[in-house]
Chains A and B, each alone.
Chain A
Amino acid sequence: MSNPGKSKQGTRRRERLDRGIKVRSEDIYALNSWREAIYLLAPRAFPVLALLALALLAPLYWQRVLVSATVFALLAISWDLAASSGMVCLGQALFFGVGAYLAGIMNHYFHLPPALTLPLATLGGGLICTLLLLPVLRLRGIYFAMVTLILPLMVERIIEATKIFGGTEGLSGLTPFPHPLVESFITMAALWVALFGLRRIMASDYGLVLKGINDNDRAVMSAALNIYRYKAQALFLAAATGAFAGAFMTHAYMFVGMPVFALDYSILPIASAAVGGLGTLAGPALGAFILVPLSEMLRGLGGLRIVIYAVLLVVFTVGLPEGVFHYLRRKYTQFERWTEVGK
């Protein structure tokens, strides 16, 4: 391991301090001047406005890419929420697939419009996934991860073997959305509601308990809190977020079939979280907006695409292990300087 502090600069080290404006804007002074107010608002308003502008101005192809990136961002938020509550989940495809199939079934057999299937599939999907995983909530770490990895694969095989809900053919000819812009607006609204809403929950006392379960579940138990209740509630929130993404994709593709349980929907959210930065909900969403367009840009390269994509993924994870979001936030809120050590 290299040690830059020692080899070249003698006995110096880098010191990080909060910027003055950051400290000021945390208090009532934020309302005193435009500068502080903008400093607080800019990082929150910029992504909302930028995404809105892109959705309106970008060519149709890139609008579709943005919609798909937004859907993966929702899945990544769902993964990060579960992971911050102590449940490392390798089966986002389960949430996604259950939501997708629920919407498909309601639309195909009962002819409900998307305005009804989307909310029903979101709530129903969240409920079904929570009930499915309720018996394994007592597992943790890699054991919980393994069970969640296996479940979507198994549901996929059961659908193949029993030929229910269209079997390998799936259900097609479902009701589409009336206009591409409607798709953009629905996904964007869902993303901002999920991102800002869940971030607010995680910042509250309730979120503190969830983070506590992740850090040390026995300490939370010894505070006389029933951690399974909290875990089940967090799981419902995460599963509902994932199920919405699935239900949306069903109507966007006008089709639902076995591929909704594919490994892609489990792996890409984790990769997004690793690139974007864990534990902030915003980081994984940012990661999805980096990875999905990146994979589209590489599409012209044919077979080499996945190779370059995988190499970039490794470079991101190894070169910036904290994640892009943590890095950006540090640069935004802190300044760095070299200080002498040992005086």
Chain B
Amino acid sequence: MLTSTLIYGFINSVILLLMALGFNLTFGISGVANFAFGALYVTAGFLAWIALNTLGLPYWLAAGLAVLGTAVLAGLLYRFVVLRVRGLVVSEVIATFGVGLAILELFRFLGFIGFEYTLPELLDAELNLGGVIVDGQRLVILAVGAGLTLFLWVFTRLTRTGRAFRAIAQDEHTALTLGINTERVATVSVAFGAAYAAVAALVILPLGTIAVNEGYSVLVNALAVCIVGGLGSTLGVMVASFLIGYAQTITATYLETSWMMVVSLLAILVILLVRPSGLFGSQKQLEERI
């Protein structure tokens, strides 16, 4: 019981981490609101499904197409819709959320509902960890989660583009004076975040079916993890995923499932009250309270 809670809590946490990484990249690191994130996640799933089943492409080509397609879609969305209201925070949130809502409900209208919408598992293996059997797909999730986190950390510190992502959130005017085209960097950041969402979708969705409602819960989870971890901090996002992930798994095992949401929401509330900028948030330390 205990080992199984520990192991599945760990996997649950990595799933949360994967969902939150892309959102953290766009909203946390670059300070660009993209509330169509959940819709992009689901879009990637359906794109891969269409490429695999309708067009009959091999898996790696389909997966690449899904990731690329989602990133391009997000970039276009940002360039032609959101850029016009950049700086008006409420309008940004409403516009991106509206686009996400339109995408998700369009899938529902077109009839993308049912058990046949699944993606194939990548690894057909099993691992016995101290009496607990973990299937291959969950192992893939662990590996991809670790890889993407490491890549994000390295990318935002060592590459020019990655540093520009952080720069436009820290001080847009200073970034402009240093020759960073903030609008282009914001667009690239949105596309990059969408690509992360697509990869997360490709490895997480095989555990269940591609459901429209998944889009809403992914958005809420990602938002919660990013806020608790502190906007812009990759380490914070990791710690927050494990906190919330374990809180959820432990309540589901030892309490009733109906308390699962209460416990994770309560954890978020308490952390926000004690440390309003999140566990490791550093960007707006002076801004969050007075």
Contact = CB atoms under 8 A, between A and B. Distances in A.
A193 interface: no
B158 interface: no
B272 interface: yes
Contacts, number: 117
B266 to A, nearest CB: 7
Given A141-B288, A307-B105, A314 B95 contact: yes
A304 to B, nearest CB: 5
A147 B289 contact: no
18 contacts: A140-B287, A146-B223, A147-B269, A147-B273, A150-B269, A154-B262, A157-B265, A158-B262, A160-B258, A221-B290, A267-B97, A278-B90, A303-B105, A306-B101, A313-B98, A317-B95, A317-B98, A321-B91
Interface string B195-222: 0000000000000000000000000000
10 residue pairs, one from A and one from B, having the closest CB atoms: A310-B102, A310-B101, A303-B109, A314-B98, A306-B105, A313-B98, A274-B94, A154-B265, A157-B261, A157-B262
Contact of B288 (A143, A278, A302): A143
A271 interface: yes
A314 B84 contact: no
Interface of B: 81-82, 84-85, 88, 90-91, 93-95, 97-99, 101-102, 105-106, 108-109, 223-224, 227, 231, 256, 258-259, 261-262, 265-266, 268-269, 272-273, 276-277, 284, 287-290
Contact of A140 (B88, B93, B290): B290
B105 A147 contact: no
Contacts of B106: 307
Interface string A11-28: 000000000000000000
Q: Most B CB atoms within 10 A — which of A88, A151, A154, A278?
A: A154
A306 B85 CA distance: 22
Contact of B276 (A88, A143, A158): A143
A145 to B, nearest CB: 9
B275 to A, nearest CB: 10
Contact of B91 (A140, A304, A317): A317
Main secondary structure of the interface of B (DSSP, over half): helix
A35 interface: no
Given A143-B277, A161-B259, A274-B94, A150 B105 contact: no
Contacts of A142: 227, 231
B269 A271 contact: no
Contacts of A111: none
Nearest to A227: B290
Contacts of B258: 157, 160-161
Q: Most A CB atoms within 10 A — which of B88, B223, B265, B277?
A: B265
Contacts of B289: 138-140, 143
A328 interface: no
A217 B85 CA distance: 25
A135 B290 contact: no
A317 B287 contact: no
A31 B287 CA distance: 48
B95 A138 contact: no
Nearest to A308: B102
B6 to A, nearest CB: 25
A67 interface: no
Given A141-B288, A153-B261, A310 B272 contact: no
Given A147-B272, A313-B94, 20 more contacts: A136-B272, A139-B288, A140-B289, A141-B284, A142-B227, A150-B272, A151-B269, A153-B265, A157-B259, A158-B262, A217-B290, A270-B90, A273-B90, A306-B101, A306-B102, A307-B106, A317-B85, A317-B91, A317-B94, A321-B88
Q: Most B CB atoms within 10 A — which of A143, A302, A306?
A: A143
Contact of B256 (A141, A161, A267, A273): A161
A270 B98 contact: no
Nearest to A218: B290
A146 B281 CA distance: 15
